[in-house]
Chain A
């Protein structure tokens, strides 16, 4: 395979693939955050402590 062909394949697929993969990961991260949102755990912790007293 000549250098031009190899270079074009590597650059196009490499840059495109990296960008696309990381975009997919942003979707995964957003989905995880939506599925498991932060809960007010401190409140539960304080209640637990008080119950211990």
Chain B
């Protein structure tokens, strides 16, 4: 009898016995993410489930990531199959208004320059000795787009999914802190004061409806491997602009992304197991990820300067920083910085155009990367 009580009591305390210092560190990391999400408001919709997932998966003997574990089921069903990021893209498309971009199509080129950091970071990662596919996964953090980063990483470097996702979402929320010093360093006061006139031109509803269809066809013909991402974002946008499927738009804006975000966050947190996360590669990923976003901003602003020269001073280079996918933070940063130097300057709509261009650009860049990898026989 006493022996049975002793063995039962020992089993009850087995979690404490199995807890390693690495697990304790990762539980602390999970709690830090929870703190950032709850107390600091950094991307709470994602950092809260990611942080809690990280805490859960590092509690010993829970079996949550074992073959039939709950979090393993979410991960296998939604992340490995790439269903979660694609579903989130339907929501992003349904919530995005491309009119500012359609009003001034040339601004889309800023969305291309805003992706150059991805490729420069791949070069750096390769120079630091990372493998080809790991370098691609790290570079894609520069897309400044969580679902794109998850989509690419889950295909080519699933072992890096935890650090890549955490970096992508954390740095996205740090855009208002990261960008302003770079914007000030790379532009003159005269450039920052350039007033961009509001365009009075309106875009017809027919164009807004045809835009997602045309973009899907053109981009998927150029880079077929990007079809799941571009197809879903444009499907969401077509539903929005068509005006005939209000119920589906409502679901795409609310229920679908809400449920998927919860499950995606938990799944990402579940990849942050101590034995896989606590290593120098994670630090390298976090460092290079930040560099990718900085390089995106630099290249966007430099391209903005080129457009400023080409248009004889009609484009404020500050909106170049909005050519990344962090929507709408990057556009707001451009607006705030512009008004800081000229109170009569309203860059928001132009920056929104560049920002939505950045969304299209990041998906296009990912699609092109995937197609190149396929062409090289690496997929």
Task: Check B119 against A29 for contact (C-beta < 8 Å).
Answer: no
- The answer to whether B207 touches A36 (Cβ under 8 A) is yes
Contact with A along B84-121 (1 / 0, CB 8 A): 00000000000000000110011011011101101110
Whether B120 and A11, one on each chain, are in contact in the complex, defined by CB atoms closer than 8 angstroms, is yes
- A11 B119 Cβ-Cβ under 8 A: yes
Q: A17 and B223: CB pair below 8 A? A: yes
The tally of residues in A whose CB lies under 8 Å from a CB in B reads: 29
Bound together, the chains give a CA A26 to CA B215 distance in angstroms of: 10
Interface residues on B, range: 35 or more
For the complex, would chain B's binding face be called helix, strand, loop or mixed by DSSP majority? helix
- Segment with Cβ contacts to A, from B273-281, B328-336, B358-366: B358-366
Residues in A neighbouring B357, C-beta threshold 8 A: 22
Contact pattern, B 132-151, Cβ under 8 Å of A = 1, otherwise 0: 10011000000000000000
Name the residue of chain B whose CB is nearest to the CB of A4.
B126
- Dominant secondary structure of chain A at its interface with chain B: helix
Which residue, of A11, A24, A30, has the highest number of chain B Cβ atoms within 10 A?
A: A11
- Contact B108–A10 (Cβ < 8 Å): no
B residues in contact with A24, CB < 8 Å: 218, 222
* Contacting pair A32 B223 (CB below 8 A): no
Assess the A25–B223 pair: CB atoms within 8 A: no
The chain B residues found within 8 Å of chain A, CB to CB, are 101-102, 105-106, 108-109, 111-113, 115-116, 118-120, 122-123, 126-127, 129, 132, 135-136, 201-204, 206-207, 210-211, 214-215, 218-219, 222-223, 357, 360-361, 364-365, 368-369, 372, 376
- Taking Cβ atoms with an 8 Å cutoff, the residues of A that contact B are 1, 3-4, 6-7, 9-11, 13-15, 17-19, 21-26, 28-30, 32-33, 36-39
Ordered by A's residue number, 16 sampled pairs between the chains whose C-beta atoms are within 8 Å are A6-B126, A7-B127, A10-B119, A15-B116, A18-B364, A19-B113, A21-B112, A21-B218, A22-B108, A22-B111, A22-B361, A25-B215, A26-B106, A29-B102, A30-B105, A33-B207
